[in-house]
Chains A and B, each alone.
Chain A
Amino acid sequence: MLAFFALNAAPGDPTQIVLGQHWTPARAAEIRTRLGLDKPLLVRYFMWLYNASQGDFGRSYATHEEVRVMILHALPISLELATASLMIALPVGALIGIYSAIKRTSPLDYISRVFVVGMSSMPIFWLGLVIIDLFAVQLPLFPTGGMGSSLSIVLPACSLAFYSLAGIVRMTRSSMLEVLRKDYVRTARAYGFSERVVTYRYALRNALIPVVTLSGLYVGTVIGSAIITEQVFAWPGLGSLIISAVFRRDTPVVLGGVLTVAVFYLLINLCIDFVYVYLDPRIKLG
């Protein structure tokens, strides 16, 4: 399975215009041999694949640092941002979605729908810029970027959370609406359970199943937004690492970074499959 998505990363491979500020044909050939770039593409690809499966992504062309070390340094920084924003987005998004579905056509529902459509039309980096302008420039409460102080995480996390919120609200709301008109909800009401019990014990649990499925697809979008958010707020995580490596044509770093993100992406989707089984005992993993 690992080979499978590593193949994806292969197109980034054939770039060798790297160490050449003092470029001469002789030195270029020497460097090429040292980096193994003289070998045929296919051979290089399988060598890279073999090494990568052992956790060795080679060394950066630009800094000669081990790519593994660079990734291990950047990854926790990215995860910190991701966790912080998810901790805001998931509960808030789910709550708004549920209320919006129960109190359909209420002002809150209306506001949340406008919010959802607006957010899905807004570029994440613009949201980031506006947040910087409002809360770091106009009201200098937080630093504009980097991770100098403990307050640094607030703005990027909020901006990413705000963005993910829209998707979560949308999914929860439509799924809740779907479930609320099912027969078993009516039955539960007919038994005389309170509206609270009906909503949370009967409807919510069933409504969560499609939400969980959809969120698997949504993770990709969130990862994309996270990369851009890191860029806007100069957050030195994996996204920033990949993008700066792209500009330096630092292929090993790009490949290693992308592979790491892809592995996480697949792991998250795997976890989602497990959550699925937990929520709906009828489903068994094959």
Chain B
Amino acid sequence: MDFWMVLREKSAFAGLVIVLFVLFVAIFAPILSPADPLQQNLADNLSPPDKSHYFGTDELGRDLLSRVLYGARTSLALGILPILFATAVGIVVGIISGYAGGLIDEVVMRITDLLLSVPYFLLAILIVASFGPNLVNAMFAIGISFIADFIRIIRATTLAAKEDDYVRAEKAIGAGHLRIMFGHILPNIISPVLVLITLKISEAILAAAALSFIGLGAQPPTPEWGLMLSGTRDYILSSPYLMIFPGIAIIVTSLGFNLLGDGLRDLLDPRYKGLI
């Protein structure tokens, strides 16, 4: 899979553009924002979108456009960091478990069973509940709740790869287990893992927004899209625009990763093309 193929696949390309755009916004939020996202101005609160505030202002008079732009930072961090954590754990544990088999595999599988016996969002709520609601714990919780998926899938691909000729060849020339696992099996199974990462980031962004929405993720006054939406229910009569922009921001970001992941999967496995 090389980079130029990604550009030729329509949905992957669209997804890539969206993802890069959101990354750009997140990085350059301070330059792009017309105002300080935390600056309150109670005299000018709940003003509908106009020339001075393109997206309007929220209940504390903060500029909504700036908050949405800065929110890209929090939301991307909440989506990407937990998944990187889950991927790292998944790769190490999954490959070892699949490669070693036997008792290790059995124990690992029972632990993932345990994690999977509670719906993942409930697991995240539970973790945040026991360690206290804040941004770091939310990331941790989301990371943990996705670990089992990663371990399972990486283990399954390792099981298949383990029987391939190149692994036998490596064994025949006396390569060590570590070298076979991480020097040879890992590069061979990395493409499906990339697809998984992309698709799961989209899920994690939604889960993070939902956690923040119910008050268990980012805490005020952090600009975070889910959190920004959670207050809007009270103003739905007077200011429906409050919920439009953060919502669209979440959808666009999540859609970008979804399209990219779907597109990458089609590229890797043309059998599924058009089947979603």
Is the contact region of chain B dominated by helix, strand, or loop, or is it mixed? helix
Does B213 lie at the interface of the complex (its beta carbon under 8 Å from any beta carbon of A)? yes
Find the residue from A104, A170, A223 having the highest chain B CB count within 10 A. Answer: A223
In the complex, the answer to whether B210 meets A125 with C-beta atoms within 8 Å is yes
Identify which of residues 1-40 in chain A touch chain B, using a CB-to-CB cut-off of 8 Å. Answer: 4-5, 7-9, 11-15
Known: A12-B129, A120-B258, A246-B129. A5 touches B275 (CB 8 A): no
Query: With contacts A129-B243, A137-B237, A178-B275 known, is A8 near B117, CB below 8 A?
Result: yes
Complex Cα spacing A141 to B215, Å: 29
Contact B236 A129 (CB under 8 A): yes
How many Å lie between the Cα of A121 and that of B75 in the bound state? 14
Residues on the A chain within 8 Å of B113, using CB: 4
Q: How many A-B residue pairs have CB under 8 A?
A: 149
B27 surroundings in chain A (CB, below 8 A): none
Could you say which interface size class chain B belongs to? 35 or more
> Within 8 Å of chain B (Cβ to Cβ): is A133?
yes
CB distance B213 to A7 under 8 Å? no
In the complex, whether B229 has a CB less than 8 A from a CB of chain A is: yes
- Judge whether B251 is part of the interface by a CB distance below 8 angstroms: yes
Report how far A201 CA is from B275 CA in the complex, Å: 22
Bound-complex Cα distance A264 to B119 (A): 10
- Collect the chain A residues with CB atoms within 8 Å of residue B276's CB: 113, 116-117, 170, 173-174
Contact status B247-A261, CB under 8 Å: no
Please indicate the chain B residues that have their CB under 8 angstroms from the CB of A5 in the complex: 114, 117-118
Contact B214 A123, beta carbon cutoff 8 Å: no
Cα-based distance from A7 to B117 in the complex (angstroms):
11
Which residues of chain B come closer than 8 Å to A242, judged between CB atoms?
122, 125
Interface residues as binary, B99-129 with A (CB distance below 8 Å gives 1, 0 otherwise): 0000000000000011111111111011111
Number of interface residues of A (CB under 8 A): 54
**Is A53 among interface residues, defined by CB-CB distance under 8 A?**
no
Over the window 245-257 of chain B, the binary record of Cβ atoms lying under 8 Å from chain A Cβ atoms (1 yes, 0 no) is 0010011001100
B223-257 contacts to A (CB < 8 Å): 226, 229-230, 232-233, 236-237, 240, 243, 247, 250-251, 254-255
- Bound-state CA distance A86–B255 (Å) is 25
**With A129-B232, A243-B214 as given contacts, are A258 and B122 in contact (CB-CB < 8 Å)?**
yes
Give Cα A232 to B234, complex, Å. Answer: 11
Q: Which residues of A are found within 8 Å of B202, using beta-carbon distances? A: 120-121
Rounded to whole angstroms, the CA-CA distance of A258 and B125 in the bound complex is 10
Are A117 and B243 interface neighbours, CB within 8 A? no
- What distance in Å separates the Cβ of A1 from its nearest Cβ neighbour in chain B? 9
The reply to whether B119 and A223 contact each other, CB–CB distance below 8 Å, is yes
Task: Choose from B210, B230, B232, B254 the contact partner of A121 (Cβ within 8 Å).
Answer: B254
B242 (CB) vs chain A CBs: closest residue: A129
B251 touches A231 (CB 8 A): no
Contact with B along A184-209 (1 / 0, CB 8 A): 00000000000000000000000000
Q: Is the CB of A12 within 8 A of B258?
A: no
A49 at the B interface (CB under 8 A): no
Return the chain B residue nearest A138 by Cβ. Answer: B240
Contact of A123 with B114 in the complex, beta carbons under 8 Å: no
Please report the C-alpha to C-alpha distance between residue A109 and residue B206 in the assembled complex, in whole angstroms.
Answer: 26
| Smallest CB gap from A173: residue in B | B276
Distance (Å) between the CB of B114 and the closest chain A CB?
6
| A220 interface residue per 8 A CB criterion | yes
Q: Does B209 sit within 8 A of A, measured CB to CB?
A: yes
Q: Which residue of B lies closest to A174 (CB)?
A: B275
Q: Which residues of B contact A144 (CB under 8 A)?
A: 236
Which residue from chain A places its CB closest to the CB of B255 in the assembled complex? A121
The answer to whether B119 touches A265, judged by C-beta atoms less than 8 angstroms apart, is yes
Interface residues of A in 129-153 (CB under 8 A from B): 129-130, 132-133, 137, 144
| Chain B residues whose CB sits within 8 angstroms of the CB of A258 once the complex forms | 118, 122, 126
The answer on a CB contact under 8 Å between A220 and B236 is: no
A285 on interface, CB distance cutoff 8 Å: no
Tell whether A266 is near chain B: CB-to-CB under 8 Å. Answer: yes
Residue in B117, B119, B216, B226 whose CB lies within 8 Å of A123: B226
Contacts of B119 in A (CB 8 A): 219-221, 223-224, 261-262, 265
B259 to chain A, nearest CB (A): 7
Smallest CB gap from B248: residue in A: A126
Indicate if A42 sits at the interface (CB-CB under 8 A). Answer: no
Show 7 A/B contacts (Cβ-Cβ < 8 Å), sorted by A. A8-B126, A125-B209, A126-B243, A126-B250, A126-B251, A173-B276, A224-B119
Q: Which 5 A-B pairs have the closest CB atoms?
A: A224-B121, A220-B119, A121-B255, A121-B254, A5-B117
For the A-B complex with A11-B130, A126-B251, A225-B121 known, give 20 more contacts whose Cβ atoms are closer than 8 Å: A9-B126, A117-B255, A118-B255, A120-B254, A121-B254, A122-B250, A123-B229, A125-B213, A125-B229, A126-B247, A126-B250, A137-B240, A219-B119, A224-B121, A227-B121, A243-B214, A246-B216, A258-B118, A258-B126, A262-B122
Which positions in B face A, CB cutoff 8 Å? 113-123, 125-130, 202, 206-207, 209-210, 213-216, 226, 229-230, 232-233, 236-237, 240, 243, 247, 250-251, 254-255, 258-259, 262, 272, 274-276
